Amino acid sequence: MGRVLILSSSSSSTSLLSSISKTTHKCFNFSFLHHHSQHPSFLPSSSRFSMSSSSSSSSTIDISKYKQAFSRRMAMAGLKPHHRIALGVSGGPDSMALCVLTAGWKTAGVSDVSSKSGDFIDGLLAIIVDHGLRAESKEEANVVSHRVSQMGIRCEIAHCDWPSGKPKQGHLQESAREMRYKIFHEVCAQHKIGVLMVAHHADDQAELFILRLSRNSGVLGLAGTPFTSQNFPNKVPENHGILLVRPLLEFSKKDMYKILQGSSEDWVEDPTNQSPVFTRNRIRMALNDLSSSAFKSELQALISTCRVTRAYIDQVCYSLIMKAVVVMDHGYAVIDLQLLCPLKIEDICLSKFLSLVLQFVSQRQRQIRGSALKLLMEYVRTFPCKNSLTAAGCYLCPEPGSKGSKVLVCCSVEHPFPEKMEFFESCSDGEPEFSVANELGNIIEDGKSFVNHLTPDASDVHFLDVNTELVLDEAKRLNIITESTYRSILVLQKGETDRFRANAVAISDSTSKHGIENVQTFGKSLQPGQICYFMDRFILTWKFNNKISGDALRDLADYDMDLSGDAPSFCCTSCVGDSKALEVRHMIESDWLYLAQLSKHTHSKFLHQGVVSVNETKQMMENTASCLHYASISAQKALLLLKSVPVAARRSLPVLVTQQGWLLSIPSVNFRHCPCLMVHVEFKAKIPLGGGHSSFI
């Protein structure tokens, strides 16, 4: 798939395009713009791009079968023409074919497709990412935007900002992809679009299969990219995420060209896709050398078998989650080993189940694998559970009182990564607005109905008990692939495995110098009224009010406080001082000890002794006696609630403190030091249990 536009000479472009297919293509210098002279700003002054057109052969190609197949796949994803959709567009043949099919599907399914602002199709936006890695990239993005706009698709060009500098050659494609999807998500959120479609196709799946096979992936990885998947990017406060849809997975690269030829559309070829420097390019060229239809058909059959297995395993895991996992409001999970019956579950299903549970609790994007996963499987299969274990950002231990029949899975705060906070603004402006969550929820439910209908039986599933190294052998035994295809795949696998091992030391050295993972850190200061996402699990906000709430008044009345006159409306500033922001951190052991001490002291003791805070600094509150009364009552109630929260789970609770370190609030258990301090907290994990909706049909 062509990712970006590349400057090239006319001779190299002709050579590149002539090798794509047996159909004769024309390579020319923007001749497709000759009838759009009213847009001279799109024309380059001295550059020549690698462009293709096949209008001469369009009359001989009928693309109706592609349109029908595309419409069927859209229905399987739960999508209807009136839904709001974004397209990731690079200008290459794949994304341009996606534009052609999507525009046709939209216009055929909706009677009135013109928006009031012009002749663009309603609810359809093409996102073009200018990576900014070359001087001419901005001009190239304008060319693609112009061409896509001629199809009736509204476009937005987004320019990359590389705060840490442009990526180096060895990490160029990976870094560009991460940045591209980050921008896709941000633009979708800005335009209140919940569905993003990309143009991955069957040939991409074949390349990914060989790549992952060379990295020793199991059946789950060999299933390739999902047909639909729910992603949960940063800075999106709602919990619906973005639904990523790949409707072209059953189409080949050759189909992409036929669709464009049949619709008389032009595209751009990226010469860098022919460079053997990049792994995917080497695999692509090697697969092209094995051009027999039998090989391609058998390889796709093998991938399809892996996808059927993956769909079955996912369904088993979702059933196990519904049956044996309980999520608590304080951000931890409990696995009932008696209901789970881990000894009766296949290894591959149990490992996937544990990976999903730990990913939810830790809220890490990457799932657990390797030796840590094997250790976890041994842990849950030891019944009853007696020991504790730390793995993948989680702390596991027997649930108190369960005698080892249940396992507590908590977020571990004993890790090297800093506490994470993301800030966002409230969307409530008093005006009714389009609900992305409602539309996306309906789309996912419709898509699930197809998935549930097509979920295979266990008798139709292969590779459940097959080791990673023996997948190809089992496929040959089942006659999914022939001996010839088997040997060809082994050759491809060996070539990339040898390259991977040869580069392993260099990659390891680079990683040790530059860090294993680039973790974005956020400031811990939270302004009053500001909303933050703490550790991807708690939505938190606070403000200081001079009106005492009704609950606080009742608590103060219990201590025979004089609430007549202006007492309920007094304004206390001693708790916060002159600070305009509070700090947020996770709960520590001394917070518990502080609450215990606070709950035992009377008003008179406070006035003479003061209170020792978590950093051993005395909080002298002689001028805020009412705060001390309320704090003592609040601490007593909080201790009762904390007793119901296991000690291991308390550590991940958010805590508000002053910039001097004085404890002000533990909102998850309703503790606050001052009746004027208004704090709201909500446990709302960014990545839901199960990882969100996905489909491998």
pLDDT of residue 393: 87
- Cβ proximity of 653 and 670 under 8 Å: no
Question: What distance in Å separates the CA atoms of residue 72 and residue 499, rounded to the nearest whole number?
Answer: 40
Measuring CA to CA, which residue among 668, 688, 541 is closest to residue 239?
688
Give the list of residues 6+ apart from residue 406 with CB closer than 8 angstroms, or none: 334, 335, 336, 337, 338, 385, 398, 399
The H or E element that residue 150 is part of is none
pLDDT of residue 377: 93
Question: What distance in Å separates the CA atoms of residue 615 and residue 596, rounded to the nearest whole number?
Answer: 16
pLDDT of residue 581: 84
Other CB atoms within 10 Å distance of the CB of residue 428? 7
pLDDT of residue 162: 83
pLDDT of residue 670: 93
Ranges in the chain, pLDDT < 50: 1-49, 56, 112-117, 236, 416, 429-432, 507-523, 556-571, 603-624
Q: Three-state DSSP class for 650?
A: helix
- Cβ proximity of 164 and 179 under 8 Å: no
Residue 196, both tokens:
């993003």
- Cβ proximity of 360 and 687 under 8 Å: yes
Edge-to-edge strand order for the sheet containing 538-544? 421-424, 531-534, 538-544, 677-683
- Cβ proximity of 634 and 558 under 8 Å: no
pLDDT of residue 561: 44
Residue spans of beta strands (DSSP E) within 412-476: 421-424
Measuring CA to CA, which residue among 28, 97, 143 is closest to residue 265?
97
Between the alpha carbon of residue 363 and those of residues 221, 336, 381, the distances in Å are 21, 21, 24
